[in-house]
Amino acid sequence: MATTRVIAPAGTPFIEVEREFDAPRDLVFRAWTDPKLLVRWLGPRRLQMRIDYWELNEQGGSYRYVHSGEDGFEHAFHGSFHRTGADPYTLLQTFEYEGAPGYVSLDELRLLEEGGRTIARIRSVHQTVEARDAMVEAGMAEGMNDGFDKLDELLAGELAAAR
């Protein structure tokens, strides 16, 4: 499995994430934007995911999804998509954890292709350094790593067979 690099420079409200996937970016983009695929990989293995709504189109859109554990506790997230127009493989979205209402980040995903492999770069801008630190301390990197490992499996499995 590939490793996920998470960089959170001290004293800044930014988080930068980079992960490489052994698949062309059109497949990675599809897995990232198709709710039927997204529900299969986003988030840690110990949680189940349901999508309440996922509306992504040329103008933008909105989403809400919920992760739930065996204990029945739910973690809900929502936000809005914004189109940059310049690059079809770039997504811009707001992200809000409903357990901490009012703390919204702005996240940019860029998918770059190099030699049939895809590098996903995410830049997350938080309202304050404290909000950013809370996200890091909540185990964000662990959850992302687990989800990205599941995405690797999906890309190597049935999506690779569909190429």
Tokens representing 134 are 């809370």
Mean pLDDT of 132-145: 89
CA-to-CA dists, residue 153 to 46, 102, 158, angstroms: 16, 34, 9
Confidence tier at 8 by pLDDT (50, 70, 90)? very high
For 119-138, the DSSP string reads EEEEEEE-SSHHHHHHHHHT
Question: Do residues 4 and 106 lie in contact, with contact meaning Cβ atoms separated by under 8 Å?
Answer: no
Distance, in Å, from the CA atom of 90 to the CA atom of 138, rounded to the nearest integer, reads 26
Find the CATH number of the domain harbouring 121. 3.30.530.20
Distance of CA 34 to the CA centre of its chain: 12
Q: What mean pLDDT comes out for the span 15-33? A: 95
> What is the average per-residue pLDDT within 151-160?
86
Share of the chain above pLDDT 90, in %: 77
CA distance 135 to 155: 27
pLDDT in tens, 52-108: 999 998 889 999 999 999 898 999 999 999 976 678 899 999 999 999 889 999 999
Please, are residues 136 and 15 in contact by the beta-carbon 8 Å criterion? Answer: yes
Q: So what's the pLDDT on residue 2?
A: 83
What are the tokens at 120? 């996903």
pLDDT tens-digit series, residues 41-53 = 999 999 999 999 9
Per the structure, the complete domain to which residue 103 belongs is given by: 5-161
Residue 122 has pLDDT above 70, yes or no: yes
* Mean pLDDT, range 109-135, rounded to an integer: 95
Number of domains in the chain: 1
Give the pTM.
0.91
Report CA 151 to chain centroid distance, whole Å: 11
Give the contacts of 107 (CB within 8 A, at least 6 positions apart): 92, 93, 94, 95, 122, 123, 124, 125
Mean pLDDT of the 10-28 span: 95
Sign for the pseudo-dihedral over CA of 66, 69, 72, 74: negative
pLDDT at position 159: 65
